[in-house]
Structure 1
Amino acid sequence: MSYKESSDYSLNRLKDSRSIPLQVLVTSAEWRWVMMWTVLIVAVSALPLLIAWAMTPPGWNFTGILVNPLDGHSYLAKMEQGATGHWLFHLTYTPEPHAGAFLFTFYVGLGHVARLTGLPLVVVFHLARLLAGVGLLLTVYRFIAHITMSIVERRLAFLLIGTASGLGWLGLIFGAFPIDFWVPEAFVHYSLHANPHFPLGLMLMLLVLMQVVWPYTQALLLSRIVMPTLLAILLAIVLPFAVVIVWLLLAALIGRTVLIHKGRLLWSHIWPTLGVVGGSLPVVGYQYWVTITNPILAGWNAQNVTSTPPVMNVILGFGIIGGLALIKIVHIIRQKGRETSEGEWLLCLWVIISIGLLYVPFTLQRRFITGLHIPLAILAAIGLRRWLTQSKRSTLFQQRIVLSVVVVGLLETLLVWGLPILFIKQQTIDSLTTSVLFIQDDEAAAFQWLRDNTKPDDVVLASPRIGMWVPGQTGARAFYGHPFETVAAEDKKAQVEAFYRGDQPSTSPASDYIFYGVSEQAIGRPQYLQELPVVFSSGNVTIYKNQH
């Protein structure tokens, strides 16, 4: 089907509809195409995980986390708390006792799912990730359908969102570290590869926008307020920074409407917007309040700094997609909005607001890059397709240009997805003491002993590598295991290293158990361990009971 034929087909089908707004109709043929690509994208994103599991060398165990193991295992630690029946979150990467709070409720809830189903935490984690990925991709296409009536533009935008990364490889050549290698929340395809809460949050974000901006005309006003409000509350629980973007975006759309219509208020948008803000603001407010009033959580929050990356890393990270989107935005501004749909304005405002938030003086400013690839990719697809159509070049030429853009982005995505696989050998045989993807059989046996013989409040002293796994694998606390979630992390890390070097006989606060394996032996061989009772020993791993 040619570009023109596809556009005519889309428009004719839309004209045939009497009950659905023109820009909303998605044909059954479209949904079949979308479902095919959705299954393919999600399946390919899961392949590196299966390959890593299949390539696990003898004597080793794959931990099930490929993307950002440090944060991935902290999610499993949060799920572990739910699996033991709790709903209040505690920092299990720090030894200090403290009151719990309703934070990370999504992961705590997944832990309850694991408890009820009997499935391992990591299995529930990945099942949730895959389901959220499917839901996100289907929601993405519905969102695109509100922006453009052209099937060609819809499909191109969907493929760019689902598969296209930036020019990160180019940045690596020149010593940069572009965001398409390490900021998954900015991209749909990277989000659904990384964890479940990013794709779920992005899906909720799009659903809220659609419910407010393009409500079903037959729905009662009350339901048009209640539904986006409930979705916004869920969004605030799952991905609170995304709900802030939604607030500002909906406010900007209302402001634009007031300016265009010379002061006339569009209450059909205002009431749902008030519901969205009113419903989710208490959730965000509570999260902020508890992280500044709970002393231990405040210590975590003070370390939790995620600054915006250098501008060049952002530009290269979005690559060709970002460049095409910028051209489209400039074109819209030069045209003063003529022939620009409400959806295209929404995309432009989304880009402008997100970029503005990235440079607000705030310790977590990078979080506002969440989902930015979505509006950029849709604008890029619309701008590219319409420019090609107006160029009057041959259909073959147009198809080659489009294919080139898609393939360049896809190759980078496959590189990002597959990069951990390249380091599997280094993660095991060549790096006995530093592997973060695999644990040795003796370490796995030690973790099982700790799970069977320790209480949730017991503290385990271990190297930073082992400490990363302790809360999620054993249910106990780690003295040190995370640079953010361990309070006073630098001090505790220094204490760990000093203890294993033999420079100090204890830590403050003291630990209940001392883990001593190959990672700890690489730091040092403290003589005073010989004075402590051995409670577990297997191969090169020994666990000592500390005498307080």
Structure 2
Amino acid sequence: MAERRPRLGQVSASEWRFVVVLGLLALAITSIPYVVGAALSTPERAFGGFVYAVDDGYSYLAKMRQGAEGSWLFHIVFTPEPHPGTLLFPFHLVLGKLAALLASSDLTAMMVCVYQAARLVFGFGLVLTLYRFLAAFTERVLVRRVGWLMTVFGGGLGWLLLVLGGREWLGSLPLDFILPEGYTFLVLYGFPHIALARSLLLWGLLFLLDAWQLFPRRYDEDEESPSRPQRAAAIAGILWLAMGLIVSFYVAVAWAVAGAMWLAKTIRERRVLWRSVGMTALAGLLSAPIVVYSAIVFSSDDVYATWFAQNLISSPHPLHYLAAFGVPLILAMPAVGDVWRDRERPTWALVAWVAAIPVLVYLPVNVQRRLVEGAQVALSLLAALGVCRLQAKGWKHRTVVNAVLSLVFITYALMVVGNSLQLLGQPAPVYRNQAELVALDWLGERVESDDVVLASYETGNYLPARVGARSFIGLGPEPVDFAGKEELVERCFDATADDSWRRDLLERYGVDFVFRGPFERQLGEYDPRQAPFLRLIYESAGYEVYEVEAIEP
């Protein structure tokens, strides 16, 4: 029976059933560790709600709490320095407001539930978007399905590096374990904001290519409307503007990808395509305000500028990218020539996207490796075309291709199983002591939003998720001078430090409370009771809270 080929962009009911069933399966698989984590909670040890990128997860809860407590502007809660509120992170602020509406008593628990619900909802939206995006570039259902499966479930050869003892090979962890921009499975696993942002990126690209009239069938019913390309370009710009409100630099990724596609189109047609330039400029102008705003925020305020400078996410050695994407790249090679010569389909645009990645990920910017955002989608479709081409040559080729293809599905099977097994030991920071939560909840009832609490990093990174106050130190790039503050915290809990130095430290940074528990005791044996400027206001089950009091010099 011949393979059924719908039109470009057309998706049949049977295809949608395929996507819905397997998409729900993917979300169920990514939820297994969370279910295991919650089930293993005990009265003494509480599950914090995250199993992957746990410190980042707690920072998202801290942002949600700001929204839950009434704020529409974001403040950095992991540094004591004063700074203005900004329009950053509206996604998490809105989730926090939703949690506040739904919470009856335990706001933190409701925030975790809302976050996980958002992960499932926006993750499901992403898996649908991915298939619709792939369908715009090929009529072949088998190619669509293979490309979608590789995008949703596929990883790299990171599992092999771990097996061979290369956990820190060439100075970096394998990318398929740490780079959600590179792998959809990681997005589904823990990042609802990236799921929504990627959906907006892909829909924006579809509308822009539509504005370039690369999908002529869309205009069959409205060929006399000269404004339709402009409307499509405008929609692309609006979608990217919304995307930029979630992750601002993704707008620059969209511009770069659009530029690479335009350059490829120009090379193919051997002339400057001014109409496409105009459509792209329209989309770019409409999405530019959030880029301009972000640039102003990160350049005009010292606190935000320091955060930006410290947020270094550099690309590793190029061999890491080969380990991460080498398998689909090899599988794509047999199809690249035919795709580039194809005059009926816009699949060549995906070649341009993939070709731009080696340039993007080594640009002299601080978020290098995150600029790979979305490229897995393009590469997976090209790989799927190569797979189907090779499989058509006979069973021997089919066996080899299937064996190679299977390599990309191992990483995340191992990750889900491994994360689930690790939970058996109730490790920190995934689990928190119940006594700690009681102490933090007690403190949360007595603080103001601009109060500063000094504690160890382990406590400080979680504290703003549960307490509506600022932490002296927390998530890596956000505190001003993270390394310096880490040293100050260690010295503060060191019994050999002088009390006069300690008092000056607390006054200089406007610290209002000092929190002391097991993590802080690991830093030193200092007993805050002896300080005349620290008043014990809470003590229970090994946790203490001290209020900083002004004293006469």
**TM-score normalized with structure 1 length:** 0.90
Asked whether the 8 Å contact 1:125–1:195 carries over to 2, the reply is no
Q: Is structure 2 residue 328 aligned with structure 1 residue 321?
A: yes
1:208-357 correspondence to structure 2 within 5 Å = 208-214=204-210, 216-217=218-219, 218=221, 220-263=228-271, 265=273, 267=275, 269-325=276-332, 327-328=333-334, 331-332=336-337, 337-339=340-342, 342-357=345-360
Q: Is structure 2 residue 112 aligned with structure 1 residue 113?
A: no
Q: Is structure 2 residue 378 aligned with structure 1 residue 375?
A: yes
Aligned counterpart, 2:390? 387
Aligned counterpart, 1:411? 410
Q: CA deviation at 1:422?
A: 3.0
- The 2-side partners of 1:490 and 1:539 are apart by 30
Asked whether the 8 Å contact 2:175–2:324 carries over to 1, the reply is yes
Structure 2 runs not aligned, ≥5 long: 212-217, 223-227
Asked whether the 8 Å contact 1:254–1:266 carries over to 2, the reply is no
The one-letter amino acid of 1:135's match is: G
Q: CA deviation at 1:259?
A: 3.8
1:396-475 correspondence to structure 2 within 5 Å = 400-401=399-400, 403-428=402-427, 435-475=428-468
The one-letter amino acid of 1:514's match is: V
**TM-score normalized with structure 2 length:** 0.89
- The 1-side partners of 2:388 and 2:381 are apart by 11
Aligned counterpart, 1:201? 197
The one-letter amino acid of 1:285's match is: V
SS of residue paired to 1:122: helix
CA separation of 1:525 and 1:30: change in aligned 2, threshold 3 A:
same
The one-letter amino acid of 1:511's match is: V
Q: CA deviation at 1:381?
A: 0.9
- The 1-side partners of 2:361 and 2:260 are apart by 17
- The 2-side partners of 1:87 and 1:72 are apart by 20
The one-letter amino acid of 1:197's match is: H
- The 1-side partners of 2:330 and 2:87 are apart by 41
- The 2-side partners of 1:143 and 1:477 are apart by 42
Q: CA deviation at 1:382?
A: 0.7
CA separation of 1:193 and 1:478: change in aligned 2, threshold 3 A:
same
Alpha-carbon displacement from aligned partner over 1:26-73 (angstroms, at most 9, x marks no partner): 111111111111111111111111111112244001110111112111
- The 2-side partners of 1:278 and 1:504 are apart by 57
The one-letter amino acid of 2:231's match is: S
Q: Is structure 2 residue 131 aligned with structure 1 residue 141?
A: yes
Equivalent residue in structure 1 for 2:184, among 184, 188, 192:
188
Aligned counterpart, 1:160? 150
Asked whether the 8 Å contact 1:512–1:545 carries over to 2, the reply is yes
SS of residue paired to 2:87: coil
- The 1-side partners of 2:339 and 2:145 are apart by 27
- The 2-side partners of 1:259 and 1:310 are apart by 31
Q: Is structure 2 residue 543 aligned with structure 1 residue 535?
A: no
- The 1-side partners of 2:44 and 2:157 are apart by 38
Structure 1 runs not aligned, ≥5 long: 15-21, 429-434
The one-letter amino acid of 1:367's match is: R
SS of residue paired to 1:522: helix
Aligned counterpart, 1:431? none
Q: CA deviation at 1:271?
A: 4.3
SS of residue paired to 2:235: helix
Aligned counterpart, 2:513? 513
Aligned counterpart, 1:40? 25
Asked whether the 8 Å contact 2:26–2:153 carries over to 1, the reply is yes
The one-letter amino acid of 1:350's match is: W
- The 2-side partners of 1:78 and 1:350 are apart by 33
Aligned counterpart, 2:548? 546
Q: CA deviation at 1:405?
A: 4.4
Q: CA deviation at 1:221?
A: 3.8
CA separation of 1:70 and 1:504: change in aligned 2, threshold 3 A:
farther
Aligned counterpart, 2:490? 497
Asked whether the 8 Å contact 1:245–1:354 carries over to 2, the reply is no
Mean Cα deviation higher: 81-90 or 499-508: 499-508
- The 1-side partners of 2:368 and 2:269 are apart by 34
- The 1-side partners of 2:481 and 2:489 are apart by 12
Q: Is structure 2 residue 83 aligned with structure 1 residue 98?
A: yes
Alpha-carbon displacement from aligned partner over 1:289-323 (angstroms, at most 9, x marks no partner): 11111111111111111101222222212242233
Q: CA deviation at 1:399?
A: 5.9
- The 1-side partners of 2:436 and 2:459 are apart by 9
- The 2-side partners of 1:188 and 1:328 are apart by 24
- The 2-side partners of 1:211 and 1:49 are apart by 36
Equivalent residue in structure 1 for 2:367, among 353, 358, 364:
364
Q: Is structure 2 residue 55 aligned with structure 1 residue 70?
A: yes
Equivalent residue in structure 1 for 2:160, among 142, 156, 170:
170
- The 1-side partners of 2:376 and 2:237 are apart by 25
- The 2-side partners of 1:79 and 1:451 are apart by 15
Q: CA deviation at 1:484?
A: 0.7
- The 2-side partners of 1:538 and 1:328 are apart by 67
Asked whether the 8 Å contact 2:354–2:378 carries over to 1, the reply is yes
Alpha-carbon displacement from aligned partner over 1:330-365 (angstroms, at most 9, x marks no partner): x42xx6932366432111111121221111111221
CA separation of 1:328 and 1:85: change in aligned 2, threshold 3 A:
farther
- The 1-side partners of 2:418 and 2:453 are apart by 32
Mean Cα deviation higher: 438-447 or 506-515: 506-515
- The 1-side partners of 2:259 and 2:286 are apart by 15
Q: CA deviation at 1:378?
A: 1.2
CA separation of 1:437 and 1:340: change in aligned 2, threshold 3 A:
farther
- The 2-side partners of 1:382 and 1:545 are apart by 65
CA separation of 1:404 and 1:349: change in aligned 2, threshold 3 A:
same
SS of residue paired to 2:70: coil
Q: CA deviation at 1:24?
A: 1.4
Asked whether the 8 Å contact 1:83–1:114 carries over to 2, the reply is yes
Asked whether the 8 Å contact 2:315–2:369 carries over to 1, the reply is yes
Q: CA deviation at 1:400?
A: 4.5
- The 2-side partners of 1:104 and 1:466 are apart by 23
Q: CA deviation at 1:520?
A: 0.8
Asked whether the 8 Å contact 2:339–2:348 carries over to 1, the reply is no
Q: Percent identity?
A: 30
CA separation of 1:491 and 1:514: change in aligned 2, threshold 3 A:
same
Mean Cα deviation higher: 508-517 or 61-70: 508-517
